[in-house]
Structures are given as structure tokens and as C-alpha cells.
Structure 1
């Protein structure tokens, strides 16, 4: 029973030493940085535009775009765009 306990202890110490040396000599890659976080509802680094009807900010690529009086406006949905047009006359 004592021999089995000593053998188990030696195996644990040997495994720990082997793991330490393998890491110290570069056998394991360094941990990679986590991927950058993305903004909710849009792509990383993309410009947000404000809907003039409801005030919601949306990514430019997902916005409904329209020309009103020579100005380019962006809306969060077609409903907001139509309500804005109705309010304008």
C-alpha cells in the first residue's frame, strides 16, 4: 500500500514537472486576445446615424435612407420614414 502511494505521488510530481517544462520551453501557444466586442445591432467601428422621427440610433448600413429637400436622412424603419414624410406635409 505504501509503495502504491509513493508511486502515485511520484507520478503526480513528474507530470507537474513535465507540464511546467513544456510550458516554459514554449510547447504551448500563448493565449490569444479575445475577439473585439461588437456594438449591439451593428458592426464594429460602423457609424451610427440618428433617426429624426423617433431619435433612435442605428448603424448606417441598416438604416432606411431617403432624400428630403436635398438633405440625406436616415431612419430606423420605413414606418418612421413614412411618419416623418406625413408630418412634413
Structure 2
């Protein structure tokens, strides 16, 4: 009986040790991520793909637009500003 209990304890310990190492990388950050947040999206400025929950967002004309970095966001907004001045 004690052998069975020790075996169960060892199996449980191995399971607890392996579980975080085998989970997908987007779940390892310790935060719950739903499928919508884990979606890959494309930066409209540089064309890079990134996870939505890791991006930088800004509201433009009532829509959220996501960028891979603050630099891409700022470049995109500057271009929009120049285009609106020309029009």
C-alpha cells in the first residue's frame, strides 16, 4: 500500500514538473490568454506579424489598430498626419 502511495506521489511530482514545460509558449507568461488575444496580426506600417496581446494599439476613426512597436505606431501616425494635410 505504501509503495502505491509513493508511486502516485512520484507520478504527480513528474506531472507538475513537466506541465509548464510542455505548454505552448503563449501560455507560459502566467497570464490567461484566450484565442482572440493569441491571434497573429500584421503591423500596417512594417508588415511584421506579432501576437495581438503583445502589440501596441491606438484608436483610429473608432477602430483599434495594432502595431508591433511604439516606433511603428508613431511612424504610421506621422504619415497619416502628413497625408491629411495634403488633402
The TM-score range, normalised by the shorter chain, is 0.5 to 0.7
After TM superposition, the score normalised by the length of structure 1 is: 0.52
What corresponds to 1:27 in structure 2? Answer: 6
Separation in 2 of the partners of 1:56 and 1:26? Answer: 52
Which structure's residues are more often helix, by fraction? 2
Instruction: State the number of aligned residues.
Output: 65
After TM superposition, the score normalised by the length of structure 2 is: 0.52
Question: How far did residue 37 of structure 1 move?
Answer: 2.8
Please, which runs of 5 or more residues in structure 2 have no aligned partner?
A: none
Q: Does 1:37 align with 2:24?
A: yes
Kindly report structure 1 stretches of 4+ aligned residues shifted beyond 4 Å: 42-45
Q: Does 1:72 align with 2:57?
A: no
What corresponds to 2:73 in structure 1? Answer: 81
Structural RMSD (CA): 2.7
| Higher-Rg member (1/2) | 1
Deviations along 1:3-30, whole A, 9 cap, x unmatched? xxxxxxxxxxxxxxxxxxx4xx453232
Please, which runs of 5 or more residues in structure 1 have no aligned partner?
A: 1-21
